Structure 1
Amino acid sequence: MTRPRKSPILLLDGTGVVPSRIAHRLFFSSSSDKHPLLIASTPGTDPNGVKFDLYDPTTWENPFVRAQELFGRGSEMESEGMKVKCGSEGDTNETPTEMDTAADTTTPLQQFAAASSPSTSRKQAHHTKGTPVMIHSIYLTAPNSPPSNAHVHSHASRTASLAASDEQQRAPSPSPSQQASLLMQFVDYARLKHGTRRFVLQSSSAMEPGGFSLGRVHAHLRELGQRGEAEWAVLRPTWCQQDFEQPCHVRSIKEEGKLYSATGGGKIPWVSADDIAAVAVQALTREDAPNTEYLILGPELLGYDDIANTLSSVLGRKIVHVDLSSHALEHRHQSFGCSEEHSRLMSSLDTAIKYGTENRTNDVVLSMTGSTPKSFRQYAESMKEIWV
């Protein structure tokens, strides 16, 4: 019997901190194989042969060609190794057990790369005419350029501006307006040329629909949904705990015992990238179209002074918060390769925090995933070796 053709999920910037966690959850889910996983990354960092660069439209066709090769007509002859499964709602938080991981020490992305390498897929794919396989949903991010192995993509453009170590010589990152325009063009390309219906955008809590940067993409998706032309969800996570793994923070904590911001005494409900990923999987895989936004917040309100105190306790040495002026923060961002527009954006976000825009909590993580969001102390305890 011929199996029904599969409709894969495509993750843009699949090696980013949040998308890689989404990939991990999808890879180890065992409830369904109707939505296998495709990972697209900037050339040079991709794990499975899908070369994709948002800033180079000549690469936009590649994921759709790859989907047809792997999951199109005739691909029902695939090997067991190609069954990269994506779970249904309620089953997408499944993770490997200690026994599972003991049997195979490779990472999920390495396993996927081995299963879907170009040589493997050529043996398994049978090129026949007919309706192309449809990509079910696409996870949209605004990746940095040129590529970095350190980016988090957790909150607005902070990742793009601060991802590189200052030893590296880097070109300024694309502006937020350039990223937004390209993402909207890619959405229209995917839905009009290839029939993709669902788009899940990783935006941020600071970006209202129709506002600057990813807020424009948010408004575009909502308008498409209102016209019945797309299914959509927008994730609006607050500032991410994994931001403190960025080289700029790691270096200042290790070498100076300092954290820098322009937030004053403002509070933030810091959220884990794992919790963002758990919500994202639900939005990508649930049967019903989400057609809404999710404000994704952590369980507690902490200012940078509180973060410094927690790190001091975990590390056993004094860490202090240095509260900069907005102008000084702009210069700091630029020293890490951030454009002037990004620098102004980041400074404005810190100023907004100072005046209370992030002073809020909710139950979105719990209601969407059934799990309590992780605390900052849990995160710090698990990662303390990187700041020693």
Structure 2
Amino acid sequence: MKGVEKLFLMRPPHISNTKKYMLPVIEAARIAGVKHIVFLSLLGVEKNPIVPHYKVEKAIQKSTIPYTFLRPSFFMQNLIQQHGEEIRRDREIFVPAGNGKTSFIDVRDIAAVAVKALTEEHHENKAYSLTGSDALTYYEVATILSEELGMDFTYTNPSIKQFKEKMKAKGIPTEFITVMIGIYLTAKLGLAKKITDDLAMILERKPITVRQFVKDYREEFLMEN
């Protein structure tokens, strides 16, 4: 941390033990005199103490280091990275989100906001809820995939138990599965449907839509496993 004035902090997805891995980073930043932390958090985190992001936010606030919390909704790119296997192989979306709506966001938009938070003034000690401009169910996402890619995709709406068993079979660590379930529970309970103007205000343009995202990543959705 020596010589570092600003820090972009992101929790690696497979790390849920924030006390062991994240809090020492924040303390090192405090000791080194870091002047600003931009932390990639989670939409609705202030009402969801189950997810690790909640504890990280509290630790940053306790450190007294000026901060900017970026609280994005569910990443569109997770459809490719985390669930691409089922989508490409089985043409299904397999997540336990029920009929809940999600205001999906493209990580390219989050990156653009992060750059501004790190390089511009007046973002200190603020929390931005970053969402897309639409809230969609996974049924609607499956419809968009079908329309844009020219083949049928479905949303199977599994139970939490079914999801947990399938993720375990894929070799995903139990702690990470628990975090994923917590995030999808947010959607299932209707806490992920929130739409805000924060992104449009900061970037002075509309967010990237799910339909545009599918068009941009068409080849990755169709590539062979």
- In the superposition, the TM-score normalised over structure 1's length comes to 0.54
Q: Read off the aligned partner of 2:33 and give its amino acid letter.
A: G
CA contact (8 A) 1:210 1:216 kept: no
Q: Which residue of 2 aligns with 1:386?
A: 220
Q: Does 1:205 align with 2:43?
A: yes
Q: Does 1:242 align with 2:80?
A: no
Corresponding residue to 1:222 among 61, 78, 81:
61
CA contact (8 A) 1:314 1:381 kept: yes
RMSD: 1.9
Q: Does 1:142 align with 2:21?
A: no
Structure 2 residues without counterparts, runs of 5 or longer: none
CA contact (8 A) 1:206 1:349 kept: no
Q: How far apart in 1 are the matches of 2:79 and 2:187? A: 17
- In the superposition, the TM-score normalised over structure 2's length comes to 0.90
Question: Where do residues 98-177 of structure 1 align in structure 2 (5 Å cutoff)?
Answer: 134-143=3-12, 160=13, 173-174=14-15, 176=16
Q: Read off the aligned partner of 1:141 and give its amino acid letter.
A: M
Report the secondary structure of 1:235's partner residue: strand
| 1:185 to 1:330, Cα distance in 2 relative to 1, 3 A | same
Report the secondary structure of 1:139's partner residue: strand
Structure 1 residues without counterparts, runs of 5 or longer: 1-62, 65-133, 144-159, 161-172
Q: Read off the aligned partner of 1:237 and give its amino acid letter.
A: P
Report the secondary structure of 1:208's partner residue: helix
Shift of 1:210: 8.6
CA contact (8 A) 2:27 2:63 kept: no
Shift of 1:328: 1.0
Q: Which residue of 1 aligns with 2:21?
A: 182
Shift of 1:206: 4.1
1:246-297 C-alpha deviation (Å, 9 max, x unpaired): 1x52222222111111112110000011111111112111234510111111
Report the secondary structure of 1:241's partner residue: coil
CA contact (8 A) 2:76 2:106 kept: yes
Moved over 4 A (4+): none
**Max radius of gyration: which structure?**
1
| 1:239 to 1:367, Cα distance in 2 relative to 1, 3 A | same
Q: Does 1:312 align with 2:181?
A: no
Q: Which residue of 2 aligns with 1:301?
A: 135
| 1:195 to 1:365, Cα distance in 2 relative to 1, 3 A | same
Shift of 1:342: 2.7
Corresponding residue to 2:34 among 196, 212, 228:
196
Report the secondary structure of 2:134's partner residue: coil
CA contact (8 A) 1:140 1:201 kept: yes
CA contact (8 A) 1:238 1:270 kept: yes
Question: Where do residues 1-388 of structure 1 align in structure 2 (5 Å cutoff)?
Answer: 64=2, 134-143=3-12, 160=13, 173-174=14-15, 176=16, 178-192=17-31, 194-208=32-46, 211-212=49-50, 213-225=52-64, 230-246=65-81, 248-288=82-122, 290-388=124-222
Q: Read off the aligned partner of 2:172 and give its amino acid letter.
A: C
What percentage of aligned pairs have identical amino acids? 23
Aligned residue pairs total 221
| 1:222 to 1:210, Cα distance in 2 relative to 1, 3 A | farther
